[in-house]
């Protein structure tokens, strides 16, 4: 199937929706199962899309165009498939603050093909809304996806919402850390690294029990959250003009520190670093303004948030630079 995956990726590279849809529907007509197409063609091709954006080879526009093509192909496969439902109901969506819906949709489709009645609720579902929905629908399980650890605080709120409704949570996605290390700490019943593992776990049954969630109710992460806008504004003031894109990048950086404090793990910073560098690359390197803004941000963190600064030092985050820029020496 690797040759087919390569062909599909080439079509994504050109944003050729007609060609990509024709390829997967043609293979489906030849007897290749929808599950095999999702897991062995669409998913690996889309992972390569993400890698190319992350390392700077693709722009955001290229990534979005390719993702839209994969999304269309997935939707058509879902319409053509004929799953045999068992009556078991799963609500599947992204945790609060997580907008990467395509991996979640793929997992939802695999579950549906395995016989589950699946309700897909989309990206960044507010925890309170999720609680009301789950309470009303009473599904057998809720599948929650987190692709980026910057959304871990939202993940904690989403999992807690399902716990209040008494429904077990199957967590998924790399945002929960290597081997899902944060999922159990935040109260999930189990974690799955891919859709097949998720389906296998659910087929074997989750007992619905929860370990006690280890979630810090207060601490420096709360103070950082409260003061985030002021910190970012102080950093942006170093720019000649208030650039909304640089403001977004700096906000993401502070949110990364929040999540790292929340789970007390500088690995969160390492996981979010490529995205931060790509976001920061919108500035103009010739002016040095973005570097000055970063210096200001780090200065505030060092002065007022000792635990966060400790994580900055452990992760060498102070050496961060926008993708493609010369090395910025702040030591």
- pLDDT of amino acid 309: 92
Residue with tokens 């993940």: 155
- pLDDT value at residue 327: 47
> Kind of pairing, strands 117-122 and 169-172?
unpaired
Beta strands in the chain (DSSP E): 89-94, 117-122, 141-145, 169-172, 190-192
- Residues in CB range of 88: below 8 A, 6 or more apart: 115, 116, 117, 140, 202
Chain-centre distance of CA 222, in angstroms? 22
Asked if 146 and 175 count as a contact pair (C-beta separation under 8 A), the reply is yes
Residue with tokens 């526009």: 61
Handedness of CA 198, 265, 279, 122 (dihedral sign): positive
Q: Tens digit of pLDDT per residue, the chain (331 long)?
A: 578 899 999 999 999 999 999 999 899 888 888 889 999 999 999 999 988 887 778 888 999 999 999 999 998 887 766 666 667 899 999 999 999 999 999 999 989 888 888 999 999 999 999 999 999 999 999 999 999 899 999 999 999 999 999 999 999 999 999 889 999 889 999 999 888 888 888 887 776 555 666 666 678 899 999 999 999 998 888 877 777 878 888 898 999 999 999 998 988 988 888 877 777 776 555 555 677 888 889 899 999 999 999 998 888 887 776 655 544 454 4
Residue 173's nearest CA partner among 197, 157, 141 is 197
Kind plus residue range of the DSSP H or E element containing 24: helix 17-29
Q: Which residues contact 78 (CB under 8 A, 6 or more apart)?
A: 34, 109, 112
For every residue of 89-115, DSSP letters joined together read EEEEEEPTT---HHHHHHHHHHHHHTT
Token pair 């910025």: residue:
328
pLDDT value of residue 288? 57
Report d(CA 17, CA 19) in Å as an integer. 5
Say which residue the tokens 């996605």 belong to: 173
For the chain, give every domain's residue range.
1-82, 86-215, 220-319
Q: What CATH number should be reported for the domain whose range is 86-215? A: 3.40.50.280
Q: Judging by DSSP bridges, how do beta strands 141-145 and 89-94 pair with one another? A: parallel
Pairwise CA distance, residues 6 & 12, whole Å: 10
Read off the pTM. Answer: 0.85
At 199 the pLDDT is 84
- For residue 81, the model assigns a pLDDT of 63
Full DSSP string of 142-195: EEEE-SSGGGHHHHHHHHHHHHHHT--EEEESGGG-GGGHHHHHTT-SEEESSH
Dihedral angle, C-alpha 245, 262, 193, 187, nearest 10 °: -130
Query: For 1-82, which CATH class?
Result: mainly alpha
């Amino acid at each position: 199937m690797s040759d087919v995956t390569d062909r599909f990726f080439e079509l994504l590279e050109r944003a050729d929706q007609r060609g990509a849809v024709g390829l997967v529907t043609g293979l489906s007509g030849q007897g290749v199962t929808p599950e095999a197409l999702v897991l062995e063609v669409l998913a690996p091709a889309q992972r390569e899309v993400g890698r190319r954006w992350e390392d700077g080879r693709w722009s955001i526009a290229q990534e979005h165009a390719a993702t839209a093509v994969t999304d269309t192909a997935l939707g058509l496969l879902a319409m053509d498939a004929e799953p045999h439902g068992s009556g078991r109901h799963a609500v599947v969506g992204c945790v609060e603050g997580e907008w990467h819906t395509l991996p979640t949709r793929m997992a939802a489709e695999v579950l549906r093909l395995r016989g589950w009645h699946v309700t897909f609720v989309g990206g960044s579902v507010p925890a309170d809304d999720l609680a009301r929905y789950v309470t009303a629908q009473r599904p057998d399980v809720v599948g929650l996806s987190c692709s980026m650890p910057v959304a871990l605080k939202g993940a904690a709120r989403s999992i807690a919402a399902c716990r209040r409704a008494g429904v077990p949570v199957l967590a998924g996605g790399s945002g929960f850390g290597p081997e899902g290390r944060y999922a159990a700490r935040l109260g999930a019943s189990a974690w799955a690294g891919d859709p097949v593992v998720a389906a296998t776990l659910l087929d074997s049954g989750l007992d619905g029990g929860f370990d006690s969630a280890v979630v810090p109710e207060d601490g420096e992460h709360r103070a950082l959250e409260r003061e985030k806008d002021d910190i970012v504004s102080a950093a942006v003031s170093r720019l000649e003009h208030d650039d909304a894109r640089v403001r977004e990048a700096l906000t993401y950086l502070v949110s990364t520190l929040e999540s790292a404090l929340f789970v007390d793990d500088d690995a969160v910073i390492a996981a979010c670093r490529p995205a931060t560098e790509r976001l920061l690359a919108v500035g103009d390197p010739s002016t040095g303004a973005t570097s000055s803004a970063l210096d200001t941000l780090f200065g505030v963190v060092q002065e007022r948030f000792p635990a966060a600064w400790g994580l900055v030092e452990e992760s060498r985050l102070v050496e961060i630079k926008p993708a493609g820029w010369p090395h910025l020496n702040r030591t």
